[in-house]
């Protein structure tokens, strides 16, 4: 990878919102480091696509963000590139954990993927981001502010994600800007893709009357990372107005 070009690291970028974000930054001339965990085939496909468009412009790194040795693996790769301008903490676990049934394994998984992993990865990437006056964008959730029934651990983790955004903005400023995006109904969770009753219920509460798109989130993340040069510590809701109707 040519370290003369700006470089973005995106976690969970093999599929869905992460993949769309990777393509957007790549189209803007960035070198892209794509992190993935289990989606190897999808990661290989998008990396091949981007390198076909511009040689040596995309790298892959596989690891479990719940494992601190995985974060070291990412740090080693980024250090070998020698440059980082933007970190997008996108990777996330999401599933229901009804209070009466949830357990410590679920707690560890949801807290680690949505809060612990992004925190310690940001810590490790901070020196290179400071060097390049870079930016961090965390992907939070509208339910960090309006709790989601039967998802207490996820809600707590994403609320912590917003608090992390504010704290890191103070600690890394003025060298690194830290902001977050709080999506609403963008993509149906894979375990709810066939639940039409649930989907109708969700959409009835969205003033825009429709799902958002992956590009809505990617565009906002790009704005915060590249264009919003006097914004830090902020969370932008991209939810079709849902948070205004609750």
Catalytic (active-site) positions? 154
The packing angle between helices 40-53 and 16-27, to 10°, is 10
User: Residue 9: what are its φ and ψ, rounded to 5°?
Assistant: -110, 125
How far apart are alpha carbons 224 and 90 in whole angstroms?
A: 14
User: Residue 18: what are its φ and ψ, rounded to 5°?
Assistant: -60, -40
How far apart are alpha carbons 182 and 140 in whole angstroms?
A: 5
How far apart are alpha carbons 109 and 48 in whole angstroms?
A: 30
Could you tell me how far CA 203 lies from the centroid of its own chain? 23
């Amino acid at each position: 990878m040519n370290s003369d070009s700006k470089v973005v690291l995106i976690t969970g970028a093999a599929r869905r919102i992460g993949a769309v974000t990777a393509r957007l930054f790549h189209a803007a001339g960035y070198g892209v480091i794509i992190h993935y965990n289990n989606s190897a085939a999808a990661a290989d496909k998008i990396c091949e696509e981007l390198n076909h468009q511009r040689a040596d412009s995309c790298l892959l790194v596989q690891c479990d963000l719940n494992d601190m040795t995985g974060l070291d693996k990412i740090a080693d790769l980024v250090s070998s590139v020698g440059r980082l301008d933007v970190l997008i903490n996108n990777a996330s676990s999401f599933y229901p954990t009804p209070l009466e049934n949830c357990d410590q394994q679920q707690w560890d998984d949801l807290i680690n993927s949505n809060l612990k992993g992004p925190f310690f990865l940001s810590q490790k990437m901070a020196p290179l981001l400071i060097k390049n006056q870079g930016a961090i964008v965390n992907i939070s959730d509208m339910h960090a502010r309006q709790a989601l029934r039967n998802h207490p651990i996820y809600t707590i983790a994403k609320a912590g994600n917003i608090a992390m955004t504010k704290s890191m903005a103070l600690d890394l400023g003025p060298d690194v800007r830290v902001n977050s995006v709080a999506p609403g109904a963008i993509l149906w969770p894979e375990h709810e893709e066939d639940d039409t009753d649930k989907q109708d219920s969700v959409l009835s509460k969205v003033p825009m009357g429709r799902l958002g798109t992956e590009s809505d989130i990617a565009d906002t993340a790009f704005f915060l990372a590249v264009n919003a040069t006097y914004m830090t510590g902020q969370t932008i809701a991209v939810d079709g107005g849902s948070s205004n109707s609750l």
